[in-house]
Amino acid sequence: MSIVVTGATGELGRLVVEQLLTTVPANGIAAVVRDADKAAPLAARGIELRVADYDRPESLKDVFRAGDRVLLISGSEVGRRVPQHTAVVDAAKAAGVAQLAYTGILGGPAADFRLAEEHKATEQLILDSGLPHTFLRNGWYTENYTANLAPVLAHGAVVANAGDGRVASATRADYAAAAAAVLTGEGHLGAAYELSGDVAWSLAEYAAEISRATGKEIAYRNVPAAAHQEILVGAGVPEFFAGILVDVDKAIERGLLATTSGDLARLIGRPTTPLAETVAAAVATA
């Protein structure tokens, strides 16, 4: 039996692996990757590499073993994830894994925005499969904002169409720690965790936090959805994905990413990382 992390060289996957290594011997971890060369540093640490591609179901045929505990990190290609996830679920069922944990989205079936559709479909696939499962319904990553500081600093403004909506974000490292806890602990089968930060903040508060960290005046500009779509496309974001981001902002305005259930802090055994800490770290490297 191994603890298996799919997408192990991705931004979340590598953090999950690092967290697992604090309590699990390297030879008890398997990393599912598309590119073995990219994952060579993992192999050098004694982690087993299992090469497979979500888009090639045949490559997943022997990637799981009976009794494995598996983390399915959702694919990054919006619009293609249902067939990709179907291939993984089918392979996990055929292998007889002991647990399939899935990184979905905050709110689960109640999330009514476009980005949630594939996550809800995947949860239903897993339920229909009969596999022992755990749903990790991740809220927004703080890095979704702080990774894009350059245009904010260049224009002196955070631009969105989220109104006064609030976001209970946490860092990828926080979510990775929760995934590791679920994969290594007991009593999580059948659970659906609503994972989010301890504190929900507004984009005006986010802009103020950047102002404090930089010493520059950063404003929050709330714009109509159509104007935001135009701004994003003008900045080079593909039109389809710009529409997804605009729709997420509408969901934020409706309060759908403001839930503070406390599940994340309970799983990781500590408070979630404060917004100010993540902003300060991002500003220091901007």
Tens of pLDDT, residues 176-227: 999 999 999 999 999 999 999 999 999 999 999 999 999 999 999 999 999 9
Distance CA 147, CA 202 (A): 17
Instruction: Kindly state the average pLDDT of the residues 82-104.
Output: 97
Residue 125 to residue 14: CA distance in whole angstroms: 25
| Dist CA 282 CA 188 (whole Å) | 34
Instruction: Give the model confidence (pLDDT) of 128-159 as tens digits.
Output: 999 999 999 999 999 999 998 999 999 999 99
pLDDT at residue 81 is higher than 80: yes
Res. 77: pLDDT tops 90: no
CA distances 188 to 44, 106, 267, Å, are: 31, 17, 10
Q: Are strands 219-222 and 157-160 parallel, antiparallel or unpaired?
A: parallel
Per CATH, the number for 3-138 is 3.40.50.720
Angle subtended at Cα 75 by Cα 182 and Cα 243, rounded to the nearest 5 degrees: 120
Please report the pLDDT score of residue 79 as a whole number. Answer: 77
Where do the CATH 3.40.50.720 domains begin and end in the chain? 3-138
> Is residue 80 scored above 90 in pLDDT?
no
The CATH 3.90.25.10 domain(s) of the chain lie at 139-171+195-259+271-286
- Identify each DSSP E strand in 63-212 by its residue range: 69-72, 99-105, 133-138, 157-160, 166-167, 192-195, 201-202
139-171+195-259+271-286: CATH, from 2.160.10.10, 3.90.25.10, 3.40.50.300, 3.40.190.10: 3.90.25.10
Q: Quick one: pLDDT at residue 78?
A: 84
Cα torsion 112, 125, 174, 277: sign: negative
